[in-house]
Chains A and B, each alone.
Chain A
Amino acid sequence: MHRFAKPSVFLRLASAVMPWAVGITVLTLAVGLYLALVASPADYQQGDTVRIMYIHVPAAWMGLFCYVGMAICGAMSLIWKHPLADIAARATAPIGATFTALCLITGSLWGEPMWGTWWVWDARLTSMLILLFLYLGYMALVNAFDDPERGSKAGSALALVGVINVPIVKFSVDWWNTLHQPASVARMGGPSIDPSMLWPLFLIAIGFTGYYVIVLILRIRLELNERRIRALQLSGIGEDAPGSVQPVYNPEQAGAGE
Protein backbone atom coordinates (compact mmCIF):
# COMPACT_ATOMS: atom_id res chain seq x y z
CA MET A 1 0.00 0.00 0.00
CA HIS A 2 2.59 2.50 1.13
CA ARG A 3 4.87 1.37 -1.66
CA PHE A 4 2.43 2.52 -4.31
CA ALA A 5 1.99 5.81 -2.52
CA LYS A 6 5.55 6.76 -3.43
CA PRO A 7 5.46 9.19 -6.35
CA SER A 8 8.35 7.50 -8.18
CA VAL A 9 6.59 4.13 -8.01
CA PHE A 10 3.34 5.73 -9.07
CA LEU A 11 4.96 7.45 -12.04
CA ARG A 12 6.46 4.19 -13.27
CA LEU A 13 3.13 2.39 -12.83
CA ALA A 14 1.26 5.21 -14.56
CA SER A 15 3.60 5.07 -17.58
CA ALA A 16 2.90 1.36 -17.91
CA VAL A 17 -0.87 1.85 -17.62
CA MET A 18 -1.16 4.85 -19.94
CA PRO A 19 -0.91 3.13 -23.36
CA TRP A 20 -3.44 0.50 -22.27
CA ALA A 21 -5.81 3.13 -20.96
CA VAL A 22 -5.59 5.10 -24.21
CA GLY A 23 -6.12 1.97 -26.31
CA ILE A 24 -9.11 0.73 -24.30
CA THR A 25 -10.70 4.17 -24.20
CA VAL A 26 -10.42 4.79 -27.94
CA LEU A 27 -11.63 1.29 -28.82
CA THR A 28 -14.60 1.13 -26.43
CA LEU A 29 -15.73 4.65 -27.24
CA ALA A 30 -15.50 4.03 -31.01
CA VAL A 31 -17.50 0.78 -30.86
CA GLY A 32 -19.79 2.17 -28.16
CA LEU A 33 -20.64 5.28 -30.15
CA TYR A 34 -21.31 3.24 -33.28
CA LEU A 35 -23.70 1.00 -31.36
CA ALA A 36 -25.27 3.95 -29.51
CA LEU A 37 -25.92 6.11 -32.54
CA VAL A 38 -26.28 3.66 -35.44
CA ALA A 39 -26.67 -0.01 -34.61
CA SER A 40 -28.93 0.04 -31.55
CA PRO A 41 -32.72 0.17 -31.96
CA ALA A 42 -34.95 3.08 -31.01
CA ASP A 43 -37.05 2.64 -27.88
CA TYR A 44 -40.68 1.55 -28.28
CA GLN A 45 -41.85 4.59 -26.27
CA GLN A 46 -39.10 7.16 -26.40
CA GLY A 47 -37.88 6.67 -29.95
CA ASP A 48 -34.41 7.99 -30.68
CA THR A 49 -34.16 10.10 -27.51
CA VAL A 50 -33.20 6.86 -25.77
CA ARG A 51 -29.77 7.36 -27.34
CA ILE A 52 -29.17 10.17 -24.86
CA MET A 53 -29.23 7.46 -22.18
CA TYR A 54 -25.97 6.00 -23.50
CA ILE A 55 -24.05 9.04 -22.29
CA HIS A 56 -26.41 10.25 -19.56
CA VAL A 57 -26.26 7.06 -17.50
CA PRO A 58 -22.48 6.38 -17.79
CA ALA A 59 -21.85 10.06 -16.95
CA ALA A 60 -24.01 9.66 -13.82
CA TRP A 61 -22.10 6.52 -12.82
CA MET A 62 -18.79 8.31 -13.30
CA GLY A 63 -19.98 11.28 -11.28
CA LEU A 64 -20.78 8.98 -8.35
CA PHE A 65 -17.74 6.74 -8.83
CA CYS A 66 -15.32 9.68 -8.95
CA TYR A 67 -16.90 11.13 -5.83
CA VAL A 68 -16.41 7.91 -3.87
CA GLY A 69 -12.81 7.74 -5.11
CA MET A 70 -12.25 11.34 -4.12
CA ALA A 71 -13.70 10.77 -0.63
CA ILE A 72 -11.60 7.63 -0.09
CA CYS A 73 -8.45 9.51 -1.12
CA GLY A 74 -9.51 12.37 1.14
CA ALA A 75 -9.86 9.97 4.08
CA MET A 76 -6.45 8.44 3.33
CA SER A 77 -4.89 11.86 3.23
CA LEU A 78 -6.50 12.79 6.54
CA ILE A 79 -5.63 9.55 8.34
CA TRP A 80 -2.27 8.52 6.90
CA LYS A 81 -1.20 11.89 5.52
CA HIS A 82 -0.35 10.34 2.16
CA PRO A 83 0.65 13.20 -0.10
CA LEU A 84 -0.28 11.11 -3.14
CA ALA A 85 -3.77 10.43 -1.77
CA ASP A 86 -4.37 14.15 -1.45
CA ILE A 87 -3.04 14.72 -4.95
CA ALA A 88 -5.28 11.97 -6.36
CA ALA A 89 -8.33 13.50 -4.65
CA ARG A 90 -7.52 16.93 -6.10
CA ALA A 91 -6.95 15.40 -9.54
CA THR A 92 -10.26 13.50 -9.44
CA ALA A 93 -12.47 16.46 -8.54
CA PRO A 94 -12.57 18.26 -11.92
CA ILE A 95 -13.13 14.96 -13.76
CA GLY A 96 -16.01 13.99 -11.51
CA ALA A 97 -17.45 17.48 -11.72
CA THR A 98 -17.34 17.35 -15.53
CA PHE A 99 -19.17 14.02 -15.64
CA THR A 100 -21.75 15.21 -13.11
CA ALA A 101 -22.38 18.38 -15.09
CA LEU A 102 -22.69 16.32 -18.29
CA CYS A 103 -25.17 14.02 -16.55
CA LEU A 104 -27.30 17.01 -15.55
CA ILE A 105 -27.11 18.66 -18.98
CA THR A 106 -27.88 15.52 -20.99
CA GLY A 107 -30.63 14.68 -18.51
CA SER A 108 -32.14 18.07 -19.14
CA LEU A 109 -31.90 17.56 -22.90
CA TRP A 110 -33.66 14.23 -22.45
CA GLY A 111 -36.27 15.48 -19.99
CA GLU A 112 -37.52 18.32 -22.15
CA PRO A 113 -38.81 16.20 -25.06
CA MET A 114 -39.89 13.18 -22.97
CA TRP A 115 -41.12 14.49 -19.62
CA GLY A 116 -42.06 17.90 -20.92
CA THR A 117 -39.66 19.85 -18.68
CA TRP A 118 -35.96 20.76 -18.54
CA TRP A 119 -35.83 20.54 -14.78
CA VAL A 120 -37.90 19.61 -11.72
CA TRP A 121 -36.91 19.70 -8.07
CA ASP A 122 -37.49 16.04 -7.37
CA ALA A 123 -35.24 14.03 -5.05
CA ARG A 124 -33.05 12.50 -7.79
CA LEU A 125 -32.37 15.67 -9.76
CA THR A 126 -31.83 17.76 -6.64
CA SER A 127 -29.41 15.28 -5.03
CA MET A 128 -27.45 15.10 -8.30
CA LEU A 129 -27.21 18.90 -8.37
CA ILE A 130 -25.94 18.78 -4.77
CA LEU A 131 -23.27 16.33 -5.95
CA LEU A 132 -22.08 18.92 -8.48
CA PHE A 133 -22.00 21.61 -5.78
CA LEU A 134 -19.99 19.28 -3.52
CA TYR A 135 -17.38 18.91 -6.27
CA LEU A 136 -17.28 22.67 -6.86
CA GLY A 137 -17.10 23.31 -3.12
CA TYR A 138 -14.23 20.87 -2.75
CA MET A 139 -12.29 22.47 -5.60
CA ALA A 140 -12.84 25.96 -4.21
CA LEU A 141 -11.91 24.88 -0.69
CA VAL A 142 -8.62 23.10 -1.45
CA ASN A 143 -7.44 26.15 -3.37
CA ALA A 144 -8.68 28.69 -0.85
CA PHE A 145 -5.71 28.34 1.52
CA ASP A 146 -2.17 29.56 1.02
CA ASP A 147 -0.96 26.49 2.87
CA PRO A 148 -1.85 23.51 0.65
CA GLU A 149 -1.95 21.17 3.63
CA ARG A 150 -4.65 23.19 5.37
CA GLY A 151 -6.57 23.34 2.11
CA SER A 152 -6.49 19.59 1.67
CA LYS A 153 -7.59 19.06 5.28
CA ALA A 154 -10.65 21.25 4.82
CA GLY A 155 -11.37 19.76 1.38
CA SER A 156 -11.06 16.17 2.61
CA ALA A 157 -13.46 16.90 5.44
CA LEU A 158 -16.01 18.30 2.98
CA ALA A 159 -15.52 15.35 0.60
CA LEU A 160 -16.09 12.90 3.46
CA VAL A 161 -19.23 14.58 4.78
CA GLY A 162 -20.57 14.82 1.24
CA VAL A 163 -20.20 11.09 0.67
CA ILE A 164 -23.55 10.76 2.49
CA ASN A 165 -25.10 12.24 -0.63
CA VAL A 166 -23.95 9.29 -2.78
CA PRO A 167 -26.45 6.69 -1.42
CA ILE A 168 -29.08 9.43 -1.41
CA VAL A 169 -28.57 9.94 -5.16
CA LYS A 170 -28.66 6.20 -5.80
CA PHE A 171 -31.73 5.39 -3.68
CA SER A 172 -33.64 8.67 -4.07
CA VAL A 173 -35.85 7.04 -6.68
CA ASP A 174 -36.76 4.24 -4.26
CA TRP A 175 -37.09 6.22 -1.04
CA TRP A 176 -39.26 9.00 -2.43
CA ASN A 177 -41.56 9.32 -5.36
CA THR A 178 -39.87 11.26 -8.12
CA LEU A 179 -40.43 12.27 -11.70
CA HIS A 180 -37.24 10.39 -12.51
CA GLN A 181 -37.84 6.69 -13.19
CA PRO A 182 -36.43 3.96 -10.88
CA ALA A 183 -33.08 2.27 -11.53
CA SER A 184 -32.80 0.32 -14.79
CA VAL A 185 -29.45 -1.48 -14.50
CA ALA A 186 -28.36 -1.98 -10.87
CA ARG A 187 -31.69 -3.27 -9.59
CA MET A 188 -33.30 -6.39 -8.13
CA GLY A 189 -34.15 -8.88 -10.83
CA GLY A 190 -31.53 -7.69 -13.31
CA PRO A 191 -31.50 -4.85 -15.84
CA SER A 192 -34.80 -3.74 -17.35
CA ILE A 193 -33.01 -2.65 -20.51
CA ASP A 194 -33.01 -4.79 -23.63
CA PRO A 195 -29.58 -6.41 -24.26
CA SER A 196 -29.26 -4.57 -27.58
CA MET A 197 -29.36 -1.33 -25.59
CA LEU A 198 -27.16 -2.54 -22.72
CA TRP A 199 -24.10 -3.07 -24.94
CA PRO A 200 -23.59 0.56 -25.97
CA LEU A 201 -24.31 1.58 -22.38
CA PHE A 202 -21.58 -0.64 -20.93
CA LEU A 203 -19.04 0.09 -23.67
CA ILE A 204 -19.36 3.83 -23.19
CA ALA A 205 -19.18 3.35 -19.42
CA ILE A 206 -15.87 1.48 -19.89
CA GLY A 207 -14.68 4.20 -22.25
CA PHE A 208 -15.51 6.91 -19.72
CA THR A 209 -13.63 4.95 -17.03
CA GLY A 210 -10.61 4.75 -19.33
CA TYR A 211 -10.86 8.47 -19.98
CA TYR A 212 -10.94 9.01 -16.21
CA VAL A 213 -7.75 6.96 -15.78
CA ILE A 214 -5.97 8.92 -18.52
CA VAL A 215 -6.90 12.37 -17.25
CA LEU A 216 -6.31 11.29 -13.63
CA ILE A 217 -2.72 10.27 -14.47
CA LEU A 218 -2.13 13.51 -16.37
CA ARG A 219 -3.46 15.61 -13.53
CA ILE A 220 -1.51 13.72 -10.83
CA ARG A 221 1.69 14.29 -12.82
CA LEU A 222 0.77 17.93 -13.16
CA GLU A 223 0.13 18.26 -9.43
CA LEU A 224 3.40 16.43 -8.55
CA ASN A 225 5.33 18.83 -10.77
CA GLU A 226 3.63 21.82 -9.23
CA ARG A 227 4.45 20.67 -5.70
CA ARG A 228 8.07 20.25 -6.68
CA ILE A 229 8.03 23.72 -8.22
CA ARG A 230 6.55 25.14 -5.04
CA ALA A 231 9.15 23.36 -2.91
CA LEU A 232 11.97 24.71 -5.08
CA GLN A 233 10.57 28.21 -5.00
CA LEU A 234 10.21 28.07 -1.22
CA SER A 235 13.86 27.08 -0.92
CA GLY A 236 14.75 30.24 -2.78
CA ILE A 237 15.41 28.84 -6.24
CA GLY A 238 14.11 30.95 -9.06
CA GLU A 239 13.86 34.18 -7.13
CA ASP A 240 17.02 35.49 -8.71
CA ALA A 241 16.09 33.89 -12.00
CA PRO A 242 18.23 35.31 -14.83
CA GLY A 243 15.47 34.99 -17.39
CA SER A 244 15.48 32.16 -19.85
CA VAL A 245 17.68 29.17 -19.32
CA GLN A 246 17.75 26.20 -21.65
CA PRO A 247 15.67 23.38 -20.17
CA VAL A 248 17.69 20.29 -19.43
CA TYR A 249 16.82 16.65 -19.02
CA ASN A 250 15.05 16.24 -15.74
CA PRO A 251 15.49 12.98 -13.83
CA GLU A 252 12.34 13.70 -11.88
CA GLN A 253 10.33 13.19 -15.05
CA ALA A 254 12.18 10.14 -16.32
CA GLY A 255 9.24 7.96 -15.34
CA ALA A 256 6.68 10.44 -16.54
CA GLY A 257 7.35 10.37 -20.28
CA GLU A 258 4.40 9.81 -22.58
Chain B
Amino acid sequence: MSLSRAKSRKRQRLYLIGAALLAAGGAAALGLTAFRDSVVFFFSPTELAEQSPMDPDRRLRIGGLVEEGSLQKLENGSTVTFTVTDMQHDVQVSYTGILPDLFREGQGVVAEGHMNPKGQFVAQEVLAKHDENYMPREVADALKKSGHWEEIEKQNAKNMRN
Protein backbone atom coordinates (compact mmCIF):
# COMPACT_ATOMS: atom_id res chain seq x y z
CA MET B 1 0.00 0.00 0.00
CA SER B 2 2.54 2.57 1.10
CA LEU B 3 5.01 1.12 -1.38
CA SER B 4 2.67 1.67 -4.31
CA ARG B 5 1.96 5.18 -3.02
CA ALA B 6 5.66 5.93 -3.03
CA LYS B 7 5.88 4.51 -6.53
CA SER B 8 3.08 6.67 -7.89
CA ARG B 9 4.66 9.72 -6.28
CA LYS B 10 7.90 8.89 -8.07
CA ARG B 11 6.03 8.56 -11.34
CA GLN B 12 4.35 11.88 -10.64
CA ARG B 13 7.74 13.54 -10.14
CA LEU B 14 8.99 11.95 -13.37
CA TYR B 15 6.05 13.36 -15.35
CA LEU B 16 6.35 16.72 -13.66
CA ILE B 17 10.03 17.01 -14.56
CA GLY B 18 9.34 15.85 -18.11
CA ALA B 19 6.60 18.45 -18.50
CA ALA B 20 8.77 21.19 -17.01
CA LEU B 21 11.60 20.31 -19.39
CA LEU B 22 9.26 20.37 -22.39
CA ALA B 23 7.89 23.75 -21.32
CA ALA B 24 11.36 25.20 -20.80
CA GLY B 25 12.54 23.76 -24.11
CA GLY B 26 9.53 25.22 -25.89
CA ALA B 27 10.11 28.61 -24.31
CA ALA B 28 13.77 28.53 -25.33
CA ALA B 29 12.86 27.56 -28.91
CA LEU B 30 10.29 30.36 -29.13
CA GLY B 31 12.68 32.90 -27.65
CA LEU B 32 15.50 31.94 -29.97
CA THR B 33 13.23 32.04 -33.01
CA ALA B 34 11.97 35.48 -32.02
CA PHE B 35 15.50 36.80 -31.60
CA ARG B 36 16.83 34.98 -34.62
CA ASP B 37 18.03 38.17 -36.28
CA SER B 38 20.05 39.30 -33.29
CA VAL B 39 21.64 35.87 -32.89
CA VAL B 40 22.86 36.03 -36.48
CA PHE B 41 26.54 36.89 -36.46
CA PHE B 42 26.85 38.38 -39.93
CA PHE B 43 24.86 39.26 -43.04
CA SER B 44 25.57 37.71 -46.40
CA PRO B 45 25.93 40.01 -49.44
CA THR B 46 22.49 38.80 -50.59
CA GLU B 47 20.85 39.78 -47.32
CA LEU B 48 22.63 43.11 -47.53
CA ALA B 49 21.37 43.70 -51.06
CA GLU B 50 17.81 43.05 -49.87
CA GLN B 51 18.16 45.72 -47.20
CA SER B 52 19.95 48.39 -49.20
CA PRO B 53 20.37 51.27 -49.01
CA MET B 54 22.08 50.79 -45.67
CA ASP B 55 22.19 53.43 -42.96
CA PRO B 56 25.86 54.54 -43.04
CA ASP B 57 25.91 54.96 -39.24
CA ARG B 58 24.85 51.40 -38.58
CA ARG B 59 27.66 49.08 -37.56
CA LEU B 60 27.23 45.60 -38.90
CA ARG B 61 29.10 42.49 -39.95
CA ILE B 62 29.16 40.98 -43.39
CA GLY B 63 30.43 37.53 -44.25
CA GLY B 64 31.20 35.59 -47.38
CA LEU B 65 34.03 34.27 -49.49
CA VAL B 66 36.87 36.52 -50.66
CA GLU B 67 36.53 36.48 -54.41
CA GLU B 68 39.51 35.03 -56.26
CA GLY B 69 41.70 37.72 -57.75
CA SER B 70 39.88 40.58 -56.06
CA LEU B 71 42.45 41.44 -53.36
CA GLN B 72 44.22 44.70 -54.09
CA LYS B 73 46.66 46.76 -52.09
CA LEU B 74 46.23 50.54 -52.35
CA GLU B 75 49.19 52.88 -52.79
CA ASN B 76 49.46 53.86 -49.12
CA GLY B 77 50.52 50.30 -48.44
CA SER B 78 48.29 49.36 -45.51
CA THR B 79 44.82 49.67 -47.06
CA VAL B 80 43.44 46.73 -48.99
CA THR B 81 40.27 46.26 -50.97
CA PHE B 82 38.62 42.99 -51.83
CA THR B 83 35.25 41.62 -52.88
CA VAL B 84 33.12 39.50 -50.58
CA THR B 85 30.75 37.21 -52.41
CA ASP B 86 28.19 34.52 -51.72
CA MET B 87 28.11 33.64 -55.43
CA GLN B 88 24.87 35.60 -55.85
CA HIS B 89 25.73 39.10 -54.72
CA ASP B 90 29.03 40.92 -54.15
CA VAL B 91 30.14 43.59 -51.73
CA GLN B 92 33.27 45.72 -52.12
CA VAL B 93 35.24 45.96 -48.88
CA SER B 94 38.06 48.30 -47.96
CA TYR B 95 40.13 47.75 -44.86
CA THR B 96 43.14 49.39 -43.25
CA GLY B 97 45.03 47.17 -40.86
CA ILE B 98 46.56 43.74 -40.40
CA LEU B 99 44.76 40.82 -42.00
CA PRO B 100 44.56 37.51 -40.08
CA ASP B 101 46.94 34.71 -41.10
CA LEU B 102 44.14 32.70 -42.62
CA PHE B 103 42.90 35.51 -44.85
CA ARG B 104 43.03 34.06 -48.38
CA GLU B 105 41.27 34.56 -51.65
CA GLY B 106 38.60 31.90 -52.01
CA GLN B 107 38.30 31.53 -48.22
CA GLY B 108 35.65 32.72 -45.79
CA VAL B 109 35.83 36.11 -44.15
CA VAL B 110 33.74 38.14 -41.71
CA ALA B 111 34.19 41.92 -41.69
CA GLU B 112 32.79 44.41 -39.18
CA GLY B 113 32.19 48.02 -40.18
CA HIS B 114 29.66 50.11 -42.05
CA MET B 115 28.47 50.82 -45.58
CA ASN B 116 29.63 54.13 -46.98
CA PRO B 117 27.32 56.17 -49.24
CA LYS B 118 29.11 54.82 -52.32
CA GLY B 119 27.96 51.30 -51.47
CA GLN B 120 31.38 50.20 -50.35
CA PHE B 121 31.81 48.43 -47.03
CA VAL B 122 34.42 50.11 -44.82
CA ALA B 123 35.71 47.48 -42.40
CA GLN B 124 37.15 48.25 -38.98
CA GLU B 125 37.90 44.59 -38.30
CA VAL B 126 38.44 41.62 -40.58
CA LEU B 127 38.23 38.04 -39.29
CA ALA B 128 38.95 34.85 -41.21
CA LYS B 129 36.27 32.14 -41.20
CA HIS B 130 37.60 28.75 -42.15
CA ASP B 131 35.63 25.68 -43.19
CA GLU B 132 35.21 22.35 -41.42
CA ASN B 133 37.73 20.47 -43.60
CA TYR B 134 41.08 19.47 -42.16
CA MET B 135 43.68 17.65 -44.23
CA PRO B 136 47.40 17.54 -44.95
CA ARG B 137 48.72 19.49 -47.92
CA GLU B 138 49.22 16.34 -50.05
CA VAL B 139 45.59 15.34 -49.67
CA ALA B 140 44.44 18.86 -50.59
CA ASP B 141 46.63 18.79 -53.69
CA ALA B 142 45.32 15.37 -54.68
CA LEU B 143 41.73 16.61 -54.30
CA LYS B 144 42.48 19.61 -56.47
CA LYS B 145 44.02 17.38 -59.10
CA SER B 146 41.10 14.93 -59.16
CA GLY B 147 38.59 17.77 -59.49
CA HIS B 148 36.77 17.13 -56.19
CA TRP B 149 37.82 20.52 -54.91
CA GLU B 150 34.90 22.35 -56.50
CA GLU B 151 32.43 20.41 -54.35
CA ILE B 152 34.13 21.77 -51.26
CA GLU B 153 34.12 25.31 -52.62
CA LYS B 154 30.45 25.09 -53.54
CA GLN B 155 29.64 23.82 -50.05
CA ASN B 156 31.58 26.70 -48.50
CA ALA B 157 29.70 29.28 -50.55
CA LYS B 158 26.43 27.64 -49.49
CA ASN B 159 27.46 27.70 -45.83
CA MET B 160 28.14 31.39 -46.11
CA ARG B 161 24.66 32.11 -47.44
CA ASN B 162 23.00 30.19 -44.62
Contacts and interface: CB of A to CB of B under 8 A. Distances in A.
Query: CB–CB under 8 A between A and B in the complex?
Result: yes
Interface of A: 41-46, 50, 53, 75, 78-80, 113-117, 120-123, 160-161, 163-164, 168, 175-179, 181-184, 187, 192-194, 196-197
Given A113-B100, A117-B125, 14 more contacts: A43-B134, A45-B107, A45-B130, A46-B102, A75-B17, A79-B10, A114-B100, A168-B32, A176-B36, A176-B40, A177-B41, A177-B162, A178-B41, A194-B135
A41 B132 contact: no
A176 B129 contact: no
Interface residues of B, number: 45
Contacts of B14: 79
Contact of B132 (A123, A177, A182, A197): A182
Interface in B5-54: 10, 13-14, 17, 20-21, 24-25, 28, 32, 36, 39-42, 44
A179 B41 contact: yes
A164 B24 contact: yes
Interface in B50-69: 63
B122 interface: no
A196 B136 CA distance: 8
B139 A44 contact: yes
Interface in B117-162: 125-141, 159-160, 162
Nearest to B42: A177
Given A113-B101, A116-B126, A44 B136 contact: yes
B65 to A, nearest CB: 13
Contact of B136 (A114, A175, A194): A194
B131 A194 contact: no
Contacts of B99: 116
Contacts of A117: 100, 125, 127
Nearest to B44: A177
A179 B127 contact: yes
Nearest to B33: A175
B110 interface: yes
B161 to A, nearest CB: 9
B24 A115 contact: no
A80 to B, nearest CB: 6
B129 A179 contact: yes
Interface centre among B10, B41, B137, B139 (most CB of A within 10 A): B41
A164 B21 CA distance: 8
A116 B40 contact: no
A181 B128 contact: no
B132 A116 contact: no
Contacts of A197: 134-136
Given A43-B135, A181-B132, A197-B134, A115 B41 contact: no
B101 A114 contact: yes
A194 B152 CA distance: 14
A46 B10 contact: no
B10 to A, nearest CB: 6
A82 to B, nearest CB: 11
A45 B139 contact: no
A179 B40 CA distance: 10
Contacts of A194: 134-136, 139
A120 B39 CA distance: 12
Contacts of A120: 41, 127
13 contacts: A42-B137, A44-B136, A45-B107, A46-B102, A79-B13, A80-B10, A122-B41, A161-B20, A177-B42, A177-B63, A177-B162, A192-B132, A197-B136
